[in-house]
Amino acid sequence: MISLINKIITLVLVPIYMCPYMPCVHIAKLFNQPKELISLYEHNIGSEEDPVYLTAHRGVSAVAPENSLPAFEAAVDLGYYTAECDIHLTKDNKWVVIHNGSVDARFCQFGDVADFTLEELKTFSYKSGANFWKYEDLKIPTLDEYLDVFVGTDTRPQIEIKADNYDMLYTVVEAVKAKGLQDSAIVISFDFEQLKVIHNIDPSIELWYLIDEITPENIAAAQALGDNVWLSPNFERNDQTSIQLALDAGIGVSFWTVNTVEDAKMLYDMGVRYIETDILCK
């Protein structure tokens, strides 16, 4: 039934929604305007000699829909250190780039990613996100399409595994290696067991352990797994005491999601050089 309803949406309602002579897309534009990026360098935070290494959270979602190819291409063009994406598995075990387990928030169609094949998902149309109407035939990206954006660039792909799955994790490593990106790709997850699986497949791939609060326990866990395992804590769940705990331990740390000049300056003054953001740029 869901597939039938989505077909009707695709064939009938999407053309109406996107028709320039109808009010729908014009109303949507009001709520999906791009945002102006804020330069840290213009606020004397970081420099070419001592930079802040910025991660574009779900790509540069201020100028293009989050987790879309244009958002990742913008991250490369603007010189971000990494561009983070989220991946889920389709019904036919293909990795696609989307934050939620369902398509409802970003697409005209509805349902869970895991209930559709890749072919079905490729028929779905964006209904929101900055400038979504400007990109012709914008579709959900695959992991391979995402990785292609970074081949031959200085921007690193950063892949957050969202699926509760262990058996298919080897295919993430295979995809990274097939593009020759094993030395630049970063794999991140809230599930430490997933990171262990990736580490066992290829210990050379850099891993970031997503956490809320920094504790001695998660510092020790990351350090025990390997020298190329970082912490990626929730900025809002930490104070200067817990931040200093990580800095004193000498572990790599990158905070999410930092969206104000004041917060970026505080972290920079403490010695933090890696942050993830929706709105800040160099």
Among 20-29, 35-44, 186-195, 266-275, whose mean pLDDT is lowest? 20-29
**For the residues 105-125, what does the mean pLDDT come to?**
97
pLDDT at 78: 98
**For the residues 247-255, what does the mean pLDDT come to?**
97
Given a cut of 90, whether residue 81 has pLDDT beyond it is yes
Given a cut of 90, whether residue 225 has pLDDT beyond it is yes
Residues in the chain: 282
Mean pLDDT, the chain, rounded, equals: 96
pLDDT at 21: 87
pTM summary value: 0.96
> Domains, the chain, ranges and CATH?
2-281 (3.20.20.190)
Given a cut of 90, whether residue 198 has pLDDT beyond it is yes
**For the residues 133-142, what does the mean pLDDT come to?**
94
What's the pLDDT tens digit per position in 15-74?
Answer: 999 988 889 999 999 999 999 999 999 999 999 999 999 999 999 999 999 999 999 999
**For the residues 86-95, what does the mean pLDDT come to?**
98
**234 pLDDT band (50/70/90 cuts)?**
very high
**For the residues 127-153, what does the mean pLDDT come to?**
97
